[in-house]
Amino acid sequence: MKKMVINTLACIALSAMSFFLASASDPSPLQDFCVAVNDTKTTVFVNGKVCKDPKVATANDFFFSGLRVPGNTSNKLGSMVTPANVAQIPGLNTLGISLARVDYAPYGLNPPHTHPRATEILTVLEGTLYVGFVTSNPDNRLISKVLYKGDVFVFPEGLIHFQLNVGKTKAVAIAALSSQNPGVITIANAVFGSKPAISADVLTKAFQVDKKVVDYLQSQF
């Protein structure tokens, strides 16, 4: 009898733990929408933003025309990302989704980066892109593919990924992300352009290179 009680209690404990783990994620919104505003006097915080009274929400809270404009790719990388997240569309607050337009000059690169809060699904609208992501330690396996107009590719949340225009003409892609504020960490910028700078002792040992190489790379950022 005692053994049966112990087994029953163990099952209950495991069930409770499983329920906790299954529910340990961002909660779904409890209202139709929550338009982000800057005035905090008569509002409440939801998902990191304060909410406008739904009665005074307008169509403009859910609208953004910025993705119709090509990004300026006249830079060292030859690419430009135009985001459409909660910063541009207040009505996205609590809805867990956003977009971005990526423009690429011929041979332009959207450099290795990661989104700490979102999975990304990329659709090529124009051009030819070589894309890929790297799996986590210890394998660090590169999964890559060449994409053409109309092709779609997924970059799992948190993994380092990139896109390179391998065509002789410009390319355009639209990225959908599973967060209103996916965040972005460009690897080279973060490692070699942090403020204050990461100690050269750390970087020389991590990358197994001479300090002069680290100094040069930091000077580029």
Sign of the CA dihedral running 122, 124, 127, 132? positive
120 assigned binding-site residue: yes
Interhelix angle 211-219/200-207, rounded to 10 degrees, is 110
Q: Is 161 annotated as a binding-site member?
A: yes
Rounded CA separation 94/91 (Å): 8
Q: Is 189 annotated as a binding residue?
A: no
Number of Cβ within a 10 Å radius of residue 6: 10
Task: Establish whether 7 is an annotated binding residue.
Answer: no
Please indicate if the annotation marks 126 as binding a ligand: no
Sign of the CA dihedral 118, 123, 124, 128? positive
Instruction: Supply the DSSP symbol for 31.
Output: S
Detail the residues annotated as belonging to a binding site.
110, 113, 115, 120, 161
Detail the residues annotated as belonging to a binding site for Mn(2+).
113, 115, 120, 161
Detail the residues annotated as belonging to a binding site for oxalate.
110, 115, 120
